[in-house]
Chain A
Amino acid sequence: MTRKTLMMTAAALAVSTGAAMAEGEVVGFSQIGSESGWRAAETTLTRQQAEERGIQLQFSDAQQRQENQIAAIRSFIAQGVDAILLAPVVATGWDSVLQEAQEAEIPVVLLDRQVDSADDLYLTAVGSDLVHEGEVAGQWLVDEVAGEECRVVELQGTTGSSPAIDRKTGFENAIEGHDNIEIVRSQTGDFTRAQGKEVMESFLQAENGGQDICALYAHNDDMAVGAIQAIKEAGLKPGEDILIVSIDAVPDIFQAMAAGEANATVELTPNMAGPAFDALAAYWADGTMPEKFIQTESKLYTQADDPQGEYDRRKDLGY
Chain B
Amino acid sequence: MTLLTRIAPQLIALAALIALVSLFFPGFLAVDVSGGRLVGPVIDVLKRGAPVALLAVGMTLVIATRGIDLSVGAIMAICGAAAALSISSGLGLVPALLVALAAGAVAGLWNGVLVAVVGIQPFVATLILMTMGRGVAQLITEGRILTFSDPGFAWLGSGVLLGLPVPTWIWILTAAAVGLAVRRTALGLLIESVGVNRRASALAGVNATLLLIAVYVLSGLCAALAGIVETADIRGADANNAGLWLELDAILAVVIGGNSLMGGRFSIVASILGALIIQTIGTGILLAGFPSEYNLVIKAALVLIILVLQSPRIAAEWNLWRESHRVQPRERRRT
Query: CA of A229 to CA of B39 in the docked complex: distance in angstroms?
Result: 16
User: Known: A37-B145, A194-B233, A197-B233. Contact between A206 and B238, CB under 8 A?
Assistant: no
Report B241-264 CB contacts with A as 1/0, cut-off 8 Å.
Answer: 110000000000000000000000
Contacting residues, chain A, for B233 (C-beta < 8 A): 194, 197, 229
Q: Which of chain A's residues has its CB closest to B282's CB?
A: A198
Query: CA of A36 to CA of B238 in the docked complex: distance in angstroms?
Result: 11
Contacting residues, chain B, for A226 (C-beta < 8 A): 234
Which of A40, A159, A229 is within 8 Å of B235, CB to CB? A229
Q: Which of chain B's residues has its CB closest to A200's CB?
A: B286
Which of B25, B143, B158, B241 is within 8 Å of A40, CB to CB? B143
User: Known: A186-B291, A201-B44. Contact between A40 and B286, CB under 8 A?
Assistant: no
Query: CA of A319 to CA of B287 in the docked complex: distance in angstroms?
Result: 33
User: Known: A226-B234, A229-B235. Contact between A185 and B144, CB under 8 A?
Assistant: no
Q: Please tell me if A199 contacts chain B, counting CB pairs below 8 Å.
A: yes
User: Known: A37-B145, A159-B293, A193-B236. Contact between A198 and B286, CB under 8 A?
Assistant: yes
Q: Please tell me if A235 contacts chain B, counting CB pairs below 8 Å.
A: yes
Total A-B pairs, Cβ < 8 A: 79
Query: CA of A21 to CA of B181 in the docked complex: distance in angstroms?
Result: 74
Shortest beta-carbon distance, B195 to chain A, in Å? 33
Q: Which of chain B's residues has its CB closest to A208's CB?
A: B27
Contacting residues, chain A, for B34 (C-beta < 8 A): 235
Interface residues on B, range: 20 to 34
User: Known: A194-B238, A206-B289. Contact between A252 and B145, CB under 8 A?
Assistant: yes
Contact between A252 and B234, CB atoms less than 8 A apart: no
Shortest beta-carbon distance, A59 to chain B, in Å? 17
Which of A187, A188, A202, A229 is within 8 Å of B234, CB to CB? A229
Contact between B143 and A159, CB atoms less than 8 A apart: no
Q: Please tell me if B147 contacts chain A, counting CB pairs below 8 Å.
A: yes
Contact between A202 and B242, CB atoms less than 8 A apart: no
A binding-site residues for B, Cβ under 8 Å: 34-37, 40, 156, 159-160, 185-188, 190, 192-195, 197-199, 201-203, 205-206, 209, 222, 225-226, 229, 233-235, 252, 318-319
Would you list the 7 A-B pairs with minimal beta carbon distance, nearest first?
A: A202-B286, A188-B292, A192-B241, A193-B234, A37-B144, A159-B292, A187-B292
